[in-house]
Structure 1
Amino acid sequence: MARTPASGIQHSIRAGGYEAVIAGVGASLRSLTYTGRDLVVPFAADEVRPGFRGATLAPWPNRVVDGRYAFGGVDYVLPLTEPKRGHALHGLVGWLDFTVVDKGPSHVALAAVVEPQAGYPWRITVETGYWLRPDGLTQTVTATNDSRTSAPWGTGPHPYLRAGDSALESWTFSLPAAEVLAVTPDRLVPTGLEPVEVDPARFDFRVPREIGGAEIDHAFTALARDSDGLAEVRVTDAEGQGVAMVWDAACPWVQVHTADIEPGHPFHRIGLAVEPMTCAPDAFNADAYPFDTGLIVLGPDESATASWRIAAIA
C-alpha cells in the first residue's frame, strides 16, 4: 500500500490554463498555477505544511487573544497554538484530515467534523469545495452546527499570493480598504479601528502602488466593492502580470501579511498573505470591542457559507 504523503491525500484539478493541488490535511491549497506560473507560494506534498500556508481556517480565523473568550454566559479556554504571542491561532481544522465528498477533473469537495472539545464544545461539520473555472479557483466553505446549542463561528483561507519571481518589495499592490485594525506591536492584540491614513505608507493602498519596505500584519475593513458587492485585491509585478483575489460580503474583513520573519530566513517575505475573513481578529470576544467584529452565531442545525476566488492577471 502506498504511503500517504505528510500533507495528506493529494487532489489535483485542472481547467483551462489552471492547475491546483489540494492537500487533505487542513483542506489546504498546496499549489495553484496558471500556464505553469505560481499564483500562490506552494509546498511539497510530502512536507509538513509550513505553518498555515494555504490552510482552511475554522471555526475561527486569526487569533483568540489569550485563548480565552465568553459565549452564552460561559467562559472558555482554548489551547494556545501561537505560543510566542500566547494566543489560539487560526481555529481547529488546520490539521484535520478532510475526506472526499465529490470529485471531478476540475473540482473537489471535502469534509471534516470539528468534534466537541475543551474550549469549543460544539460539533460543526465543515464542507469545502474547490472549483476551477475560466475565471480562476473558487473555494467555498460551509459550516453546519450539529449541536443542540448555538455556536460561535468564523472562517477564511490563508494563501500567500505571488505576483512573480521578483522581490515582494517591487510588487504593485491594491487594497480597497478604508480602515485598519490597530494592534499592539508585540502580541498583535487589537486596540481599535483607525483610518488607513493614520500611516498611509504602511496601510493605504487604495491607489495601487509598490509595497516597498512596508511591513504589514493587520486586518482591514470598510472595503470598497463593485456593483456586484465584490472586493478585490490585486498584486502585480513590473511586467503587469500577477494575481487577484476576490470575495463577497460574507467576508467584511481581510488580513494582509507581508510575511516578515527575519532577513535570510527562507520564508522571509516569500509572498503576500491575503486572508478574507468572515470576522475580525479576536471576534470570539466581540463584546470587548466598540465595533462590529462580524462574529457569526450558528443556531442548532443552522449553516453559514463563505467563498473567495483567486485568479491570474496575465
Structure 2
Amino acid sequence: MSKTAASPVVLQTDRGRLEILPALGGAVGRFSWDGREVLRPAPAGTGEVLETGGFPLVPFCNRIRDGRFRFGGRDVVLPPNLAGHPHALHGQGWRGAWTVESAGAAEAVLAFDHPPGAWPWAYRAEQRFRLGADGLRIDLSVTNTGDEPMPAGLGFHPYFPTRPGERLQAGVTGVWMIDADVLPTHHVDGPWGPDWAQGAPTAVSSLIDHCYTGWDGTATLSAPGGPATVLTASPDCRWLHVYSPPGADFICAEPVANRPDPFHGEDSGLRVLAPGETASVWMAVASG
C-alpha cells in the first residue's frame, strides 16, 4: 500500500547505499558506493530540495520564460517556483511530496499524482530506484491521467561532488547560449567555453548553466588518484544540461529530454501524450 514517508527510504547492498527523501521532492538524500559519496549528500534535516543529491524533473525540464506558453488552444500561466526567479522551473514533481509504492533492500518505487491546477493536466509520475552490481539506476515516467493531450518532458538533476582536479568529459557537439535570465538565445556548433567533448576541468571562473546538444548519452567525471563516476542515460535524453557555478564544490550534469524554454522554439524534445499514454527515461550512475 502506498504511503507518504516523512523519513528517508534506505536501500543497501554490499557496495552501495542510497537514501531517498519522498517528502522532499522524491529527491536523493545520499548515494555512496564503496564508502565514497557519488552524489552530493544532503545536510541532515534539510527542507530544501536544492541542497540534496538530485531530484526528478517532471513534467518538463528547466525554465519556461515567465511561466507562460500556449498549448492546444489554451493559454497557460505557471507561477514562479524558485525564490527571486520569475520563470517557472523544472515542473511540479521536485516541489511536491511523493508516496512510497514499494521498498525493498535494493529497489524502491515512488509516485507523485498531480491534479489539474496552474498546470492544467492531470498526471502520475513514478520513480524506480535500483541498486545493482554496477551502481544506481533511476527510471522516471509520467502518465497522462487526464482526458486531453498533455505536453511532457522528463529529466534528472543530479549533483556530483567535485574533487581536486575534477574533470568532466561528455560527448556533446554544440551548446545553447543564454541570456541574463539563463534562457536560450542561439545555438553554437562545436565547443564553447569548457570543451567537455575533449574533457575539461569542472572548476570555472564564470557561470556555466548551459544546455549542450548532440549528447551521446555518456558523461564521465574523473579526478587524479580516485575512481571515475560514469553517468549514462536513455536515448530520449538528447541534451546534457551542465550547471557549474564558480567556486562551487559540485557540478550538475543533467540528462534531459527537452531543452530549456521548450514551448518557444523548434525541436524542443517535448512529447504530446494522449490520455493514458506514458513517457519514460532512465539514468544510471556508476563508480569505476
Is 1:243 paired with 2:229? yes
The equivalent residue for 2:170 is: 175
CA root-mean-square deviation = 1.8
Identify which of 189, 194, 205 aligns with 1:195. Answer: 189
Q: Which runs of 5+ in 2 are unaligned?
A: none
Q: How does 1:130-149 map to 2 (within 5 A)?
A: 130-149=129-148
Q: State whether residues 38 and 161 of structure 2, in contact with CA within 8 Å, keep that contact through their aligned partners in structure 1.
A: yes
Shift of 1:10: 0.7
Matches within 5 A, 1:1-314: 8-24=6-22, 25-51=24-50, 53=52, 54-118=54-118, 120-164=119-163, 166=164, 170-184=165-179, 186-197=180-191, 199=192, 202-213=193-204, 215-224=207-216, 231-260=217-246, 268-283=247-262, 285=263, 288-289=264-265, 291-313=266-288
State the 4+ residue runs in structure 1 displaced beyond 3 angstroms.
82-85
Q: Deviations over 1:239-284 (max 9, x none)?
A: 1423111012121111111134xxxxxxx5121111111111111x
The code of the aligned residue for 2:161 comes to: R
Q: Give deviations 1:68-119, integer Å, cap 9, x for gaps.
A: 011012111000123534100111111221111111100110111011002x
Q: CA deviation at 1:16?
A: 3.1
Q: In 1, Cα distance between the equivalents of 2:40 and 2:203?
A: 19
Shift of 1:157: 1.5
Amino acid at match of 1:194: V
Contact 2:221 2:229 in 1 (8 A): yes
TM-score of the superposed pair, with normalisation by structure 2: 0.92
Which of the two has greater strand per residue? 2
1:16, 1:273 → 2: CA distance? 27
Which amino acid counterpart does residue 305 of structure 1 have in structure 2? S
Cα distance change of structure 1 residues 259 and 247 upon mapping to structure 2, 3 Å threshold: same
Letter of the 2:200 counterpart: R
What is the TM-score of this pair, normalised by structure 1? 0.85
SS of 2:146 mapped into structure 1: coil
Give, as a single letter, the amino acid of the residue that structure 2 aligns with 1:303. T
Deviation string 1:195-223 (CA, Å, 9 cap, x unpaired) is 133x3xx2421112333435311011112
CA–CA distance in 1 between the matches of 2:280 and 2:111?
Answer: 14
- Asked if the contact 1:162/1:243 (under 8 Å) is kept, the reply is no
Residue 180 of structure 1: CA displacement?
A: 0.6
Aligned-pair identity (%): 26
Hey, what does 1:264 align to over in structure 2? Answer: none
Query: Structure 2 CA distance, aligned partners of 1:38 and 1:203?
Result: 25
Is the 8 Å Cα contact of residues 141 and 307 (structure 1) preserved in structure 2?
A: yes
- Contact 1:52–1:94 (8 Å) recurs in 2: no
8 Å contact 1:257–1:274 — kept in the other structure? yes
Aligned partners of 1:39 and 1:163 also within 8 Å? no
